[in-house]
């Protein structure tokens, strides 16, 4: 539980990230494409490579240590997402390959439920993988974003007419990697389960911004990428045991056909799994400053059961979410007051709880790529284009050029936003000297 009184320790946070310490005046505003890592994560990766870079499953010490590290990492990630058990966690290359592996298995179980619902808000990883099932007889049903144009949200009520006894699964994101808007995924699950359909969540963009709770989300499958959540490049999935164990996933014949082996064909990158474990420990550490004394006593060791670590991790993620609402507000105010700039997505300052500080915008009379390049030349890292969500960006009326995206996380600061505002205003003026004043 949050004490609600503690100020977010931004200076301490920034000191924990070596890349920020070495960045000089560079602003990391492209975190949706990958975040920086704490020093402890780097240390965990290094330790693995230096001390135990061997295959697991053998009786010698180093191999046993790898087995133990993977078991610990599974417990840690289970606590991070509030899984029902560590066996529900699978490690792998990235989120996309998990979506593909699970969708290929789902595609073999369509039978009387051939309909798969995909959304217009999603990253293409959680769309194209499902569209590929059409060749196995799937019928794709589109869940469109709201037509309040600039907001373009996913409204769970709009799912209702799409759901029926033929719906096999609803695939949707928890947060848009383009506009930053959140989806009420518990409401999605309630509606989907009412007709006997399953729910597949893409938590990649959401993960660094707030607590993941697979029990509260009530999802059947959830995928995530370590490199968006302060760990190295790797992915993980959390699947409801009963759901995944029913699927015909691919594994070698002698590998057990149940969790956690169910989705882990081949060898993954162990050092990055060690890094993911350390990333969870970092978030838990942050949470220790925000839990009340009773909860703190439960969470002193990393060896504690997942359930007892979850409240501390959640306290850390809630503190991050609260701090990030201040970042969203400052970023919105800063960008919206620049003449000629239009922000897409939720801009209402009373609705900050419905978004994360991922902001996409357009500059009148300037190509998004020109804006991103001009910012890069001035030491600001942002991105332009369709953000792998071309359907959404088309609905915003911004294809083919796309939008500019600034995506912040909890190590960014209000001062950085102010700096960004000054530079962006100058860039906009240079690129579009005739741009009108919106007043």
Ligand X SMILES: Cc1ncc(COP(=O)(O)O)c(C=O)c1O
Nearest partner of 261 among 105, 91, 96, judged by Cα = 91
Residues 26-55 contacting ligand X, CB under 6 A: none
389-428 mask for ligand X (x: CB under 6 A)?
A: ----------------------------------------
| Residues 197 and 169: beta-carbon distance below 8 Å | yes
Smallest gap from Cβ 113 to ligand X, in A, equals 25
Q: Cβ closer to ligand X: 95 or 101?
A: 95
Nearer to ligand X, 82 or 126 (CB): 126
Residue 5 Cβ, how far from ligand X at the closest point, in Å? 34
Q: Choose between 127 and 286: whose C-beta lies nearer to ligand X.
A: 127
Rounded Cα gap, residues 30 and 383, in angstroms: 6
CB of 32 to ligand X, least distance (A): 6
Alpha-carbon separation of residue 196 from 55, 163, 189 (angstroms): 41, 9, 10
Number of Cβ within 10 Å of residue 218's Cβ equals 18
Q: How near is the Cβ of 122 to ligand X at its closest, in Å? A: 7
Is the bond preceding 292 in cis, omega lying within 30 degrees of 0?
no
- Taking CB under 6 A as the criterion, the residue among 36, 76, 82, 96 binding ligand X is 96
Size of site (CB under 6 A) for ligand X? 13
Hunting for tokens 């294809």 — which residue is that?
399
Q: Does 94 bind ligand X (CB under 6 A)?
A: yes
36, 129, 177, 310: which one binds ligand X (CB under 6 A)? 177
Per-residue x/- marks for ligand X, 125-144, CB under 6 A? xx------------------
Q: Which of these segments, 94-102, 296-304, 362-370, 426-434, binds ligand X (CB under 6 A)? A: 94-102
**For ligand X, which stretch binds (CB under 6 A), given 38-46, 120-128, 149-157, 336-344?**
120-128
Q: Indicate which single residue of 73, 127, 204, 382 sits in contact with ligand X (rule: CB under 6 A).
A: 204
Q: How far is CA 159 from CA 26, 151, 172, 229, 402, in A?
A: 43, 18, 11, 29, 27
Nearer to ligand X (CB atom), residue 48 or residue 123: 123
State which of residues 95, 239, 335, 396 lies at the interface with ligand X (CB under 6 A): 95
Nearer to ligand X, 202 or 416 (CB): 202
Position 205 contacts ligand X (CB under 6 A):
yes
CA angle, 270 then 228 then 337, to 5°: 170
Q: Does 383 bind ligand X (CB under 6 A)?
A: no
State yes or no: residue 156 binds ligand X (CB under 6 A).
no
> Binding residue for ligand X (CB under 6 A) from 52, 74, 113, 123?
123
CB 162 within 8 A of CB 117: yes
Binding to ligand X, residues 226-265 (CB under 6 A): 235
Contact 78, 85 (CB under 8 A): yes
Identity of the residue, 99 or 319, whose beta carbon is nearer to ligand X in the bound complex: 99
92/368 with CB nearer ligand X: 92
Which range of residues in 63-71, 123-131, 135-143, 420-428 is near ligand X by CB under 6 A? 123-131
Q: In terms of Cα–Cα distance, which of 370, 372, 404 is closest to 387?
A: 404
Q: What's the 3-state SS for 363-432?
A: ECCCCHHHHHHHHHHCCEECEEECCCCHHHHHHCCCCCCCEEEEECCCCCCHHHHHHHHHHHHHHHHHHC
Find, among 226, 205, 199, the residue nearest to 93 by Cα. Answer: 226
Min separation Cβ 202 and ligand X, Å: 5
Tell me 4's DSSP state.
S
> Is 92 within 8 Å of 99 (Cβ atoms)?
no
Dist. CA 226–CA 221, nearest whole Å:
17
| Count, residues in the chain | 439
Cβ within 8 Å of residue 351, ≥6 positions away = none
Residue ranges that bind ligand X, judged by CB under 6 A: 94-96, 123, 125-126, 173, 177, 202, 204-205, 225, 235
């Amino acid at each position: 539980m949050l004490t609600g009184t503690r100020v977010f320790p931004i200076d301490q946070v920034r000191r924990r990230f070596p890349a920020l310490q070495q960045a000089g005046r560079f602003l990391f505003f492209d975190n949706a494409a990958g975040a920086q890592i704490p020093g402890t994560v780097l240390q965990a990766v290094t330790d693995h490579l230096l001390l135990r870079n061997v295959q697991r499953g053998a009786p010698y010490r180093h191999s046993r240590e790898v087995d133990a590290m993977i078991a610990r990492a599974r417990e840690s990630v289970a606590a991070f997402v509030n899984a029902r058990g560590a066996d529900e966690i699978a490690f792998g290359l990235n989120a996309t390959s998990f979506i593909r592996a699970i969708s290929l298995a789902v595609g073999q179980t369509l039978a009387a439920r051939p309909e798969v619902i995909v959304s217009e808000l999603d990253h293409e990883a959680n769309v194209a993988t499902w569209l590929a099932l059409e060749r196995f007889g799937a019928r794709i049903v589109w869940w469109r974003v709201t037509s309040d144009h600039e907001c373009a949200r996913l409204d769970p009520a709009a799912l209702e007419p799409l759901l029926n006894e033929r719906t096999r699964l609803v695939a949707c994101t928890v947060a848009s990697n383009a506009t930053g808007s959140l989806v009420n995924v518990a409401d999605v699950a309630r509606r989907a389960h009412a007709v006997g359909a399953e729910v597949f969540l893409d938590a990649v963009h959401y993960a660094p911004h707030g607590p993941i709770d697979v029990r509260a989300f009530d999802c059947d499958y959830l995928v995530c990428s370590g490199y968006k959540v302060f760990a190295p490049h790797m992915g993980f999935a959390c699947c409801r045991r009963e759901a995944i164990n029913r699927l015909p996933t691919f594994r070698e014949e002698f590998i057990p056909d149940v969790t956690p082996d169910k989705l882990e064909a081949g060898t993954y990158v162990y050092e990055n799994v060690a890094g993911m474990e350390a990333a969870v420990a970092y978030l838990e550490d942050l949470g220790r400053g925000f839990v009340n004394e009773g909860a703190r006593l439960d969470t002193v060791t990393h060896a504690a059961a997942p359930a007892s670590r979850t409240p501390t991790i959640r306290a850390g993620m809630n503190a991050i979410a609260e701090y990030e609402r201040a970042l969203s507000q400052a970023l919105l105010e800063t960008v919206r007051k620049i003449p000629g700039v239009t922000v897409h997505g939720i801009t209402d300052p009373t609705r900050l709880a419905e978004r994360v500080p991922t902001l996409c915008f357009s500059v009148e009379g300037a190509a998004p790529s020109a804006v991103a390049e001009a910012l890069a030349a001035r030491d600001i890292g942002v991105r332009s284009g369709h953000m792998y969500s071309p359907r959404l960006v088309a609905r915003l009326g911004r294809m083919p050029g796309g939008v500019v995206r600034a995506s912040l996380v909890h190590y960014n600061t209000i001062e950085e936003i102010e700096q960004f505002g000054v530079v962006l205003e100058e860039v906009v003026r240079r690129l579009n000297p005739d741009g009108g004043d919106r007043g």
